[in-house]
Amino acid sequence: QNNFTVQLCCQPSEYFNMSQYKCQPLEKNINVKWNLKLDYLNKTEKELSIFKDVPPEVNLPCEKPEIMYWKLNEAIDINIVKNMEYCFTPFHLENTNKYVLLPLDCIWELHFLFAFRHEYIYLLSGFFLIPTAFVYIILKPLNATLMGKCFIGYLCSVIATNGLYLIIAQMLQMKYRLPNLIYILIGFIHFYLNMVIVYWLNVLGFDAWKNLSELGEDLSPNEKRKRFWFYSTYVWIMGAITTIPTVWRNVSVIIDYCGKYKRSKTCVSLTYIILYTDMYFAPLVMIILTINFLIFCSVSWKVYNIRRKFAATMYRNRFLQENSTICLRLFLLLGPQWMVMYILKDYKHIEILITCLSYVESFLIFIIFVLRKNVLKLLLEKIKIKN
């Protein structure tokens, strides 16, 4: 009914040898029971027949999968099954001539790519994002502007989200179990912060567009303060409004699953996968990012036209260099790169590329927003005053 497939570790004529970690031919004259059990919400079970009800795909997701008993559940979104690293293999029951399907799972295997994505990249990003936020917080000329305040809010949200990624990665490595509520809360807080980032991008784009529309007008400090509080309220409340339906939809499924299967890694992984999947499939996220992209194009065009009028008094190469810097700064602020990450998230072979993009983004933010002549000058003046 859901038009999905299940993964087999080996070809139908083979089984996965757990001691040698390789596929070997099935013994002859032994029957294989190609059936999977499906749990229904009314507590009944049904057997699905592979090749008849559920078409299989051959895919060994990791070199050394582990045995973990789990069953398909009617309540769990099919996108979760698609994103899980698992496979089924025939398993020979002792003292019988039968094979049953055994699930092998790689969902918590911390191979280099996982560690690279969830730990090293976010640690490296922190080396650039944290100093950038610190500079904007301590330098009054930077945080006095409305755009500067919103930019600080965006940076702090990204730093908090990356920090939570690191916590999730550590929880996946823990050998002891924490209460289910902790895993679920961390999962939903992480989802909430991701949504907050999207709304901060929306605010930054809107404010950049409004600044160009109000060119020449100078807002009073009181008006700036009021507008910033309005933006902040919009960001945090809309983030909560977007998160609540996700909580309502998934929390009962997660609690039920975590209560049945007493493996902490499985519980936190399931929480993470559900929210990761929901976030990337949320139509509202794509609508906001599309609006940001349109604002980026509009603002870039306006900036270009305004600066082109003064190009006659500037050297052409300097004009092009300054315009490209401004466009890149707008690009990093308004987040079209997030659209690319959302669109390409299903392509596993470029997952490492998408991960590296987040690091490159933090590196460019540091260079463009901190290593600027006027910002460095302000920093030197601040140091001299302190001394």
Angle subtended at Cα 100 by Cα 99 and Cα 101, rounded to the nearest 5 degrees: 125
- How crowded is the C-beta side of 91, counted as CA atoms within 13 Å? 15
pLDDT digits (tens, 9 = 90+) for 42-62: 566 777 778 777 777 887 777
pLDDT of 135 over the 80 cut: yes
Tell me which range, 110-124, 290-304, 341-355, is most confidently predicted by mean pLDDT: 290-304
- Over residues 200-228, mean pLDDT: 78
Question: Which one has a higher pLDDT value, 14 or 287?
Answer: 14
Which residues face 102 on adjacent strands? 89
Q: Which of the pair, 22 or 208, is modelled with greater confidence?
A: 22
**How far apart are the C-alpha atoms of 76 and 247, rounded to whole Å?**
14
CA 206/CA 177 separation, integer angstroms: 44
pLDDT of 118 above 60: no
The residue-averaged pLDDT of 104-124 equals 60
pLDDT bucket at 237, cuts 50 / 70 / 90: very high
Mean pLDDT over 335-342 rounds to 61
pLDDT of residue 263: 47
Q: Tell me if 150 sits within 8 A of 231, measured CB to CB.
A: yes
Q: Looking at residues 81-86, what average pLDDT do you find?
A: 59
Asked if residues 10 and 60 have their Cβ atoms less than 8 Å apart, the reply is: yes
Give the pLDDT mean for 129-156: 87
Can you name the CATH fold of 6-105?
Methuselah ectodomain, domain 2 (2.170.180)
Angle 55-57-61 from CA coordinates, rounded to 5°: 145
Q: Is the pLDDT of residue 306 over 80?
A: no
pLDDT per residue as tens digits for the range 161-200: 888 877 776 766 665 566 666 766 777 788 888 888 888 8
Q: Which residue has the higher pLDDT, 136 or 342?
A: 136
Mean pLDDT of the region 244-258: 64
Q: Where in the chain is the domain with CATH 2.170.180.11?
A: 6-105
The pLDDT-based confidence of 40 (bands split at 50, 70, 90) is low
- Does 219 or 240 have the greater pLDDT score? 240
What is the average per-residue pLDDT within 303-330?
60
List C-alpha distances in Å: 119 to 11, 126, 130, 353, 371.
Answer: 35, 11, 16, 15, 26
pLDDT exceeds 60 at position 34: yes
3-state secondary structure the chain: CCCCCEEECCCCCEEEECCCCEEEECCCCCEEECEEEEECCCCCEEEEEECCCECEEECCCCCCCEECCCCEECCCCHHHHHHCCEEEEEEECCCCCEEEEEEEECCCCCCHHHHHHHHHHHHHHHHHHHHHHHHHHHCHHHHCCHHHHHHHHHHHHHHHHHHHHHHHHHHHHCCCCCCHHHHHHHHHHHHHHHHHHHHHHHHHHHHHHHHHHCCCCCCCHHHHHHHHHHHHHHHHHHHHHHHHHHHHHHHHHHHHHHHHCCCHHHHHHHHHHHHHHHHHHCHHHHHHHHHHHHHHHHHHHHHHHHHHCCHHHCCHHHHHHHHHHHHHHHHHHHCHHHHHHHHCCCCHHHHHHHHHHHHHHHHHHHHHHCCCHHHHHHHHHHHHHHC
* CATH 1.20.1070.10 is held by the domain 112-386: yes
| pLDDT over threshold 50, residue 111 | no
Q: At residue 160, does pLDDT exceed 60?
A: yes
CATH 1.20.1070.10: which residues of the chain?
112-386
Q: Rounded distance, CA 193 to CA 167, Å? A: 14
Say yes or no to pLDDT of 335 above 90.
no
* Better pLDDT: 72 or 229: 229
Q: pTM to 2 decimals? A: 0.64
In this prediction, residue 271 carries a pLDDT of 53
Rounded Cα–Cα distance for residues 387 and 383 (Å):
6
CA distance linking residue 142 with residue 136, whole number of Å: 6
